[in-house]
């Protein structure tokens, strides 16, 4: 092996530990949920991170879809240690920063009292993206 190639190989091997702790992201989806009764909170199933995830959350992004014209819906993205209030059906926040990135997340939905729909609201397309370091 030429000296130059050998030095490149050694440099690459020395960089491996830095890659092991490199930042990353994971994406998870949850099944649709139905919300009907004002004042009653409904949680999605857990969104589990991949087994190899380690580190702390840097930011989270989310999205979900609600039927047109829905009024009085409140939403949260919940980590086992705390929940983040969501102000829109899609967005990004650092509100869960510093929490364990390998913990499951859940969406939580509720209707404000006085906003009784005529039929259950089906909330679909639940997705969370976790950036971690």
Residue boundaries of the structural domains of the chain: 22-132
- Tens digits of residue pLDDT in 16-39: 333 344 589 999 999 999 999 999
- Residue 65's contacts (CB-CB under 8 Å, 6 or more residues apart) are 89, 123, 124, 125
2 phi and psi angles, rounded to 5 deg: -65, 150
Query: Could you tell me if 7 and 24 are in contact, meaning their C-beta atoms sit under 8 angstroms apart?
Result: no
The model's pLDDT over 41-82, given as tens digits with 9 standing for 90+, comes to: 999 999 999 999 999 999 999 999 999 989 899 999 999 999
- So what CATH class is 22-132? mainly beta
User: Which pLDDT score, from 0 to 100, does residue 12 have?
Assistant: 37
């Amino acid at each position: 092996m030429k000296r130059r190639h050998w030095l490149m190989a050694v440099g690459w091997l020395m960089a491996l530990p830095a890659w092991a702790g490199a930042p990353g992201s994971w994406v998870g989806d949850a099944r649709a949920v139905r919300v009907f009764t004002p004042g009653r909170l409904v949680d999605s199933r857990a969104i589990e991170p991949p087994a190899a995830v380690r580190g702390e959350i840097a930011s989270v992004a989310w999205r979900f879809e609600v039927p047109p014209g829905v009024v009085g819906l409140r939403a949260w993205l919940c980590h086992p240690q705390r929940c983040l209030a969501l102000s829109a059906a899609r967005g990004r926040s650092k509100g869960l920063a510093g929490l364990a990135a390998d913990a499951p997340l859940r969406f939580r939905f509720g209707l404000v009292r006085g906003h009784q729909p005529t039929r259950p609201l089906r909330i679909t397309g639940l997705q969370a993206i976790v950036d971690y370091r």
